[in-house]
Amino acid sequence: MDKKLIGVDLGGTTIKFAILTTEGEIQQKWSIETNILDEGTHIVPDIVSSINHHIALYNMQVEQFVGIGMGSPGTVDLDAGTVIGAYNLNWKTLQQVKKVVEQETGIPFAIDNDANVAALGERWKGAGENNGEVAFITLGTGVGGGLVSNGKLLHGVRAAGEVGHMIVQPQGYLCTCGNHGCLETYASATGIVRVARDMAEEFAGNSKLKQMLDDGQEITSKIVFDLAKKEDLLGKMVVERVCYYLGLACANLANLLNPSFVVIGGGVSAAGEYLLKRVNKYFQEFAFPVVEKTTTLKLAQLGNEAGVIGAASLALTFK
């Protein structure tokens, strides 16, 4: 009998679920709202009851499942299956996720942080082509990362894969982490807007972006890229600077890990080939020759589904 996997992608606004084959094909998917009230105490019970409900709904048995895998914000203890410090979930104290889920579903449970899980998803079924050497960078509100080498996620002591906190400009912008010049301060969605505001101040030419900023209009990273694609002068300069830092970070990452693919995902990566081409230009400038020839930059392919797919793959260890 073909056994199935369950993947859970826990986010601040929704919790996504999927039932997958052990080959990673999604067979069912659904989602519920994340109820962060009462210090997030409803979250784990909601996950459990949603899983149990859907197992019953699809006339399936607990024995048909290899395991449940989940990606979570916050600091995850893989072995204990606990999470702490997931502030967007109101989880300030230690959450016994694995213990409760296994008790209430009767299915083995594994957990990792959301960036790592998205990396596993893209690696398994997306741009990573199931290769054993894949780095994943996600450009969203922040910049996250997940690194796979020798076919396994790298965790280090606790916080490997902090791609967003690589220093690309010593004495650069102040980051929320307290350091200066982290990649995140330039290449996250908010970082790009920050670069735009900064460069606009010294820009004296003709630019719609400049006008919008001077008018006090709301600017997003998407607007910056869209205007750049339409040949807006300031927009092009901002994109060039952002891609310079991204290319430098990708090159230094690749000089250390020499992955087959550096996969770029997250909201900002919606800028597509326009972004990739420019990051690649700087990557090629800064990568060690052998690395430049053997590591390829790619856009992510799975979008929102990377999380549930990667989460489900955590459960393959129970196979």
Q: Using CB under 8 A as the criterion, which residues of the chain lie in contact with its own copies when the complex forms?
A: 133, 145, 147, 149-150, 152, 154-163, 165-167, 170, 177-179, 182, 248, 251-253, 255-260, 285-291, 294-295
- Using the Cα atoms of residue 236, residue 242, residue 247 and residue 248 in order, give the sign of their dihedral: positive
The CA–CA distances, whole Å, from 165 to 60, 181, 186 equal 44, 8, 11
State in angstroms the smallest separation of the CB of 256 from its own copies. 6
For residue 66, which phi and psi values (nearest 5 degrees)? -65, -45
Per-residue DSSP letter, 178: S
State in angstroms the smallest separation of the CB of 156 from its own copies. 3
Q: Which is nearer to its own copies, 36 or 145 (CB)?
A: 145
State in angstroms the smallest separation of the CB of 35 from its own copies. 29
What's the rounded Cα separation, in Å, for the pair 138 and 57?
Answer: 34
Q: Which is nearer to its own copies, 53 or 293 (CB)?
A: 293
State in angstroms the smallest separation of the CB of 153 from its own copies. 8
What's the rounded Cα separation, in Å, for the pair 293 and 167?
Answer: 25
State in angstroms the smallest separation of the CB of 53 from its own copies. 37
State in angstroms the smallest separation of the CB of 157 from its own copies. 4
State in angstroms the smallest separation of the CB of 88 from its own copies. 18
What's the rounded Cα separation, in Å, for the pair 251 and 263?
Answer: 13
Burial group, residue 108, by CB count within 10 angstroms (0-12, 13-18, 19+): middle
Closest CA to 312 of 71, 96, 101, 116: 71
Q: Which is nearer to its own copies, 50 or 75 (CB)?
A: 75
Report the half-sphere exposure of 126 (CA within 13 A, side-chain side).
30
CB 136 within 8 A of CB 300: yes
Per-residue DSSP letter, 175: P
Q: Which two tokens stand for residue 288?
A: 């060690």
